[in-house]
Amino acid sequence: MLRLAVLGYPITHSLSPAMHRYALDSLGLRGSYGALETPLEVLKDRLEEVRREYRGVNLTIPLKEAALPLLDWVSPEAQAIGAVNTVLSVEGRLLGFNTDAPGFLQALKAGGIPLMGPALILGAGG
């Protein structure tokens, strides 16, 4: 069974658990997706818990940058961005990725928005 979660602080407002549970059910996958309150000061211990007990987690504010040095491997894209939002636990190793930029670019392409040079993005998410 897949054990998954989103980590952040605060996290009680997150819609991620409902969205991911729906996705698991729709795909016929056995698993759970929870929300774990994780202030910065407990991030290291929480990631050790993830290493032992979870298949993967998503990270939101304020953890995306702070997690980088605590992981065993970080993708080149996440290193370039300076943040991870997805952590997989594979054979005792924590692997970090950032899916924000590829997801954003895919949404632009799907919407027929041409990618022609510099852009300014206003606003910020978690």
Q: Is 44 a catalytic residue?
A: no
Tokens read off for 79: 């290193």
Angle at 70 between CA 38 and CA 30, to 5 degrees: 60
- What is the CB-side half-sphere exposure of residue 17 using CA atoms within 13 A? 15
Classify residue 84 by burial, with Cβ atoms within 10 Å: 0-12, 13-18, 19+: buried
Q: Which of 64, 67, 95, 97 is catalytic?
A: 64
82: left (phi over 0), alpha (psi -120 to 50) or beta: left
Looking at the annotation, which residues are catalytic? 64
